[in-house]
A and B are shown apart, each in its own frame.
Chain A
């Protein structure tokens, strides 16, 4: 979309909103002293590149990107739809289009004054993707223009609302607005997330709403009303456990979110056991009240013990021999290896040397992939420090004119480094070995399933799969052994 078009659309929506509800822009200079008017003028002199519609919920100020708001409506009677979750008020006829109506107050589990059937409610009509929804709030205020760069990211401790629904916070005209991410609230979810939501939602039904900080239970909505109606009847919903409202669980939830946002580390069945153990440790280390991960550094510190031995470094001889023990006998002429998430190349080169040692007569081919362009681009030129070069790597390195050690041509020719996102189609021949340490946990859950399926399809009958030491994926039809510290999967 070209820039000009963008601006035009904003203005049209804005004008329409202003006309529709007599919504004031912050252009009112009524009742201000001359100094205040001056200050206002100065304020406006700064760039306004983002506009939001502000509203209130339980006394707090919230806002939503104006681009997501189709219009504003005041409405009375909704048509009640049975068997939906409490925050779904029903459906509404918006000039012929039937749209679902969500009560944002109930959605976020905030106290609501009792509703009488004929009460007029304030609604924002929002569009997410193809679907339009009506959102009921306490009161709608006005359109506020701000400079996008002044939006600050949300702090986990900030809201009563699960942080993932908050796009950011911003101050304007002496008000602090919590900017909601409409896409996240109404966005599309995959099967796993839907299941999670349904379980949590059914907990809500069984435990009538109270005004506690039930944040991690309350805040989820399926992406369509119809789906909601079907799902609350699904037999796959697990029996709800009694809700533990303790702070520890809430904090754990925040940590899980932070790990995802700061490090792209996903906590699910593959990493849950490790994460829970680590959390317990972390509580002791930091103190139960200070567990929150403030920034990326913090998060990386939390994750540090997750990584497998000899990550981002040259392999010790003992680690190398333990990997060697995990490799099956193979008399094939060619051995093909997939090494996704190879990073800078330590793993790939170490594997190459190891395989050369273990299978001296075979032609070895390693497909080394990573999504970090800088790291993987430098991999073909990697040098190895003197210490390692004189250790078990010795037969496989040569010295260059500058005095650095690099790997010899034979080793280098074995490895194909590619800038590649393994979530996309992987064009590979049949594989003997997959060496994917600490990769799956950093792939978004919705892609993990197909990634793992790929494993199964591509590996030959006598092939093996090695994952990270603290990862526990389940691969259909494959059994797991622990050899040394390595989880090794065979058919």
Chain B
């Protein structure tokens, strides 16, 4: 006779934000919009991720990464921001730490931007508006 244990329930799958050792993946959100930071933060936190910091533009993002490294597991990076845009910030972070994991999160879906980011070292590219499933899938994939 099959018992409950034979059918792993969806609700019992472990939240993706938790590492195998039980600690949370730490994420740095870089976006000039308070709304996006909140929305993204909510999606990730609900899945166990920890948002260790939020940066409001590219320069702030680079600075915070340098400060918090090596305690950052992943960075989400917006493209259109004042002072320093996301592509430039991406370049600088990758130059600082070639193992940095950056996922672009932008409203601009231009093919050339996607290509450029990936070539510059981004692990993935998510186009806004944010879809919960897409966000989790792509961030999860980037962390593997």
**Any A–B CB pair closer than 8 Å:** no
Enumerate chain A interface residues (CB-CB to B < 8 A): none
